[in-house]
Structure 1
Amino acid sequence: MSRRALILLEGGSNGPLYVQAAQRLGLHPITLSADPTQYDYVAAGGCEAICVDTHNLDAMIHECARLHLTSDIAGITSALESVYAAVGELCSYFDLPGPRPAAIERCRDKFSQRQLLAEAGVPIPAYRLAANAADVENSAAEIGLPVIVKPAAGIGSSGVRLCRDVDELAEHTSYLLGGKHIWRSSPRILVEEFAQGPHYSVEIMGNEVIGIGAADFGGPPHFVCREYIYPALLTDDEHRRIADVSLSCLQALGLGWGPMNIDMRWTKLGPVVIEVNPRLAGAPNPQLVKLAYGVDLVTEHIKLVIGEECNLRKSHLHTAAARILVPDRDGILDAIGGDSRAAAVPGVTEVKFLIELKTSIVRKGDYRDKIGHVIAVSPNLAQTKAILQCAVDFIDWSITPFSQLGARKRQLQPLNSGTDADGMGYR
């Protein structure tokens, strides 16, 4: 009997969760990736991996057809948004359950997403599309400072910044258009009204709201989440209004199959949609949903992918929270520890470092700044917060700023060496 294979395009932060869930379901996970070595769990032998250009649909069709000769391909999916439309194309080609590619592409284009939401009457911030510096300046003037300036395509807050005055506006526009930001297509910039208020993350499967979490971000001008709490502390009316707006997004965008994540803020006008993500939220959100509600979104997603009925029934209601570890300076990571003591705190379910010693840290103001997280759960909010803080207090790290490293190296160099800080590779 041939093995039942689950094809995973690329990996991402949720990649290990998909591999583990697939194995629990008796499936053989196979990762297709342009560079399988970038995923630690693949390199460690956690699953089979094949090198293939995941932006070349024909190449992936050929590879899946080859695999089909020796395996029963039960399903195809991904934990990564950038290839999720390709997942839909492959599923359609091989007659497997999957997302609608056109809906995914519409959603990934943030300008198109804004247009469709606005046409459907979904509350969103005022917005303009800009192609150059003059467009950005004019758009900001029309909307009124402060504004959010970001690429029209991207994930993880990459290139997203709050611009509070004309100087910050000019600086960030120069960053985006001056060659420092990597564009995957022609530069297109969104200039948006700054929607102010508490931030919420809504987790959806199909047409059902599974959970709503509170997200706490660090100070401006960047948006790097520091803490998630599920469920968010909401009144029944607030929960209902957020859920209703979330479901209206799905109808407007043609979504409704599989997992989705919606970011919104509660403003003085009520819930305002910041972004609709046509896939599962990145780690640690799926772990928090499982701990808080007893719903394993990764496993249930795989069940949908392989044509089985999923179970979204909540088995309990706890409070789960994650503290994201973010460095406070650039430099070289000299030490990091306390994880074993933090993990020993009752109620802590995971302590994870995403970075190794002697790594060069250059903060980007986006998801790449995260160096780890701590997850805790208990029956109530106050207890979970106390557990989380107790565990985080054990975590400690040391970062030597680049400026100090440069001074130290210069002290060791002969006076006539001619070496300066620019040649040290710390940029």
Structure 2
Amino acid sequence: MPRPALILLEGHRGNGELYMHAAQQLGLHPITLSNDPAQYPYLSRGIYEAIFVDTGNLDALIRECSRLSTRYDVAGITGFAGEDESINVTIAKLCQYFGLPGPNPLSIERCRDKISQRGILGEAGVAMPSYRVATNAAEVKASAAEIGWPVVLKPAVGSGSIGVRLCRSIDEVAAHSNYLLGGEHVWRCPPKILVEEYAKGPFYCAEIMGNEVIGVAASEFSGPPHFVFRKTIFPAVLTDHEYERIVDVSQRCIRALGLGWGPANIEFRWTESGPVVIEVNPRLSGAPDPQLVRLAYGVDLIKEHIKLVIGNECDVRRTRSHTAAAQNLVPDCEGTLDQVTGESDAATVPGIAEVKFYIEPNTRILRKGNYGDCIGHVVAASTNLSQTEETLRRAVALISWRIIPFSA
């Protein structure tokens, strides 16, 4: 019989290798299709099968998947969005074409377009920040003035906080509008900017599989004007009432958008009036969030997602009640990473589950104010919050790095 295979579109610097391991544990041969397999370190080592394909070309992907089906029993297709959320739509279309389990392409497309997403959620009565849609600098300025300061500017389509910025004045709005519309930002669709009220309050993220909320994480950002995650704790410290409200709103979002298959995550701010939805993402959260869920609740979201992809039932029942936390490692300057020290010492601190760097020495570091600014993370877990936070603090304090500034 042909060997069962799992096809993955593109890779992921955090979750990618976790999917490889989980697929192999389930008896599957993982095969990655990518525009550039070498960009993912775990693929460049030659351990896993990777094939060069234009992942922006649906017909080319259909041909390659058809070719692979002559050698393997293609059990499922999934993948990673990265900077281009259109990959999620392509994955859904491929699953539909080959009659494999997968999400509804229309539902994924609705989520990908933040304007469409907001319109649907608004009709469903879901609380969201006030917003306007702009296509030029003049409209951006007028929209910001109507909403009031501060505002958040973001591309209508995108992920990883790419192009997202908090603006506190008309000058900052003008500068970021020029950046987004002046050619520096890469648009994969006609330029549309979401001008959004800045919702003040703690940030939470609901992790979902199918229609079920697995749990809620609390996160902090490294500081304005950008939104780069600095620290995440799972589960968030919430009252029963607060948790129930987030679960209720999450399920309303899932129903309104026609989701309910596979993973999703929903971002909130808890404002004076309660939970306000910032964004619904029809995919698994990036690393290290899946690790935090596994350490806190014993639920392996990656393995359970693959089970769904290949047509099996998933099991998201909690088997433990711990607290897990992660701190992202974010440099405060640009240059070339010269060396990292203390990584091994940090990994030996009792309670540390993972110390991981995404880049190696001699890598150029360019700060862009998005998820790509993180160069690694540290994960800790224990039976209680205070012990987890103290363990994380001790380990992070042992790590240091040196960055050589670029020559003038």
TM-score tier, shorter chain, comes to over 0.9
Residue of structure 2 in register with 1:305 after alignment: 309
Determine the C-alpha separation between the residues in 2 that align with 1:401 and 1:29.
Answer: 40
Q: Which has the larger radius of gyration?
A: 1
Residue of structure 1 in register with 2:6 after alignment: 6
Q: Deviations over 1:184-206 (max 9, x none)?
A: 12111000000000000110000
Quote how far apart the aligned CAs of 1:78 are.
Answer: 1.1
Q: Deviations over 1:223-263 (max 9, x none)?
A: 00100000000000000001111111111111110000111
Quote how far apart the aligned CAs of 1:211 are.
Answer: 1.1
Matched, 1:390 2:390: no
What pairs up with 1:138-149 in 2 under 5 angstroms? 138-149=142-153
Matched, 1:359 2:363: yes
Moved over 3 A (4+): none
Determine the C-alpha separation between the residues in 1 that align with 2:364 and 2:66.
Answer: 42
Number of equivalenced pairs: 404
Quote how far apart the aligned CAs of 1:359 are.
Answer: 2.1
SS at match of 1:356: coil
8 A contact 1:18–1:79 mirrored in 2: no
Residue of structure 2 in register with 1:19 after alignment: 20
8 A contact 1:88–1:98 mirrored in 2: yes
What pairs up with 1:324-339 in 2 under 5 angstroms? 324-339=328-343
Residue of structure 2 in register with 1:186 after alignment: 190
Residue of structure 2 in register with 1:417 after alignment: none
SS at match of 2:207: strand
| Letter aligned with residue 2 of structure 2 | S
| Letter aligned with residue 6 of structure 1 | L
Quote how far apart the aligned CAs of 1:358 are.
Answer: 2.4
8 A contact 1:230–1:292 mirrored in 2: yes
What pairs up with 1:61-72 in 2 under 5 angstroms? 61-72=62-73
Residue of structure 1 in register with 2:48 after alignment: 47
- Structure 1: state its 5+ residue gaps: 407-420, 422-427
Quote how far apart the aligned CAs of 1:32 are.
Answer: 0.9
- Structure 2: state its 5+ residue gaps: none
Determine the C-alpha separation between the residues in 2 that align with 1:331 and 1:37.
Answer: 22
Superposed CA RMSD? 0.9
8 A contact 1:354–1:372 mirrored in 2: yes
| Letter aligned with residue 52 of structure 1 | V
Determine the C-alpha separation between the residues in 2 that align with 1:35 and 1:340.
Answer: 31
TM-score, structure 1 as length reference: 0.93
Determine the C-alpha separation between the residues in 1 that align with 2:344 and 2:373.
Answer: 22
SS at match of 2:394: helix
What pairs up with 1:33-182 in 2 under 5 angstroms? 33-80=34-81, 81-182=85-186
Determine the C-alpha separation between the residues in 1 that align with 2:229 and 2:58.
Answer: 34
Quote how far apart the aligned CAs of 1:63 are.
Answer: 0.9
Matched, 1:251 2:255: yes
Determine the C-alpha separation between the residues in 2 that align with 1:240 and 1:232.
Answer: 13
| Identical residues among aligned pairs (%) | 64
What pairs up with 1:240-319 in 2 under 5 angstroms? 240-319=244-323
Determine the C-alpha separation between the residues in 2 that align with 1:398 and 1:167.
Answer: 34
Determine the C-alpha separation between the residues in 1 that align with 2:166 and 2:36.
Answer: 34
